[in-house]
Amino acid sequence: MSKRKKRLERIRQNPNNVSLDDLRAVLEDYGFEYKQTVGSHYTFTYYLGGQRKVFVVPFRRPIKRDYVKYAIKLIDQIIMEQGEDEADE
């Protein structure tokens, strides 16, 4: 199992106590770009269905479970769009 799959499985199994660094690493593994922001939110951009989209996470530690679960849902959509072969790389 690849390193990025292990990271994804780790947060998938325990979405309750995920740090921003862990979430950011997993998101960047799947093509999300962190946009440095000033204020109380973290902003990530990604492409899904050929369109650029934005995922915003409020500044809280640890990150709330709902945001982690939504991030996992977005990653699953990206994996499905890319196909299984590209997801294994």
Burial of residue 4 (CB within 10 Å: 0-12, 13-18, 19+) is middle
pTM, 2 dp: 0.83
CA angle, corner 35, sides to 42 and 1, nearest 5? 85
Residue 82 has pLDDT above 60, yes or no: yes
For 27-63, the DSSP string reads HHHTT-EEE--SSSEEEEEEEETTEEEEEEEES-SSB
Q: Which of 46, 42, 43, 55 is nearest to 78 (CA)?
A: 46
Q: Residue type at 79?
A: I
Mean per-residue pLDDT for 9-32?
A: 92
Per-residue model confidence (pLDDT) at position 84: 56
User: Looking at the 3D structure of the chain, how many domains does it have?
Assistant: 1
- Name the residue range of residue 33's domain: 3-87
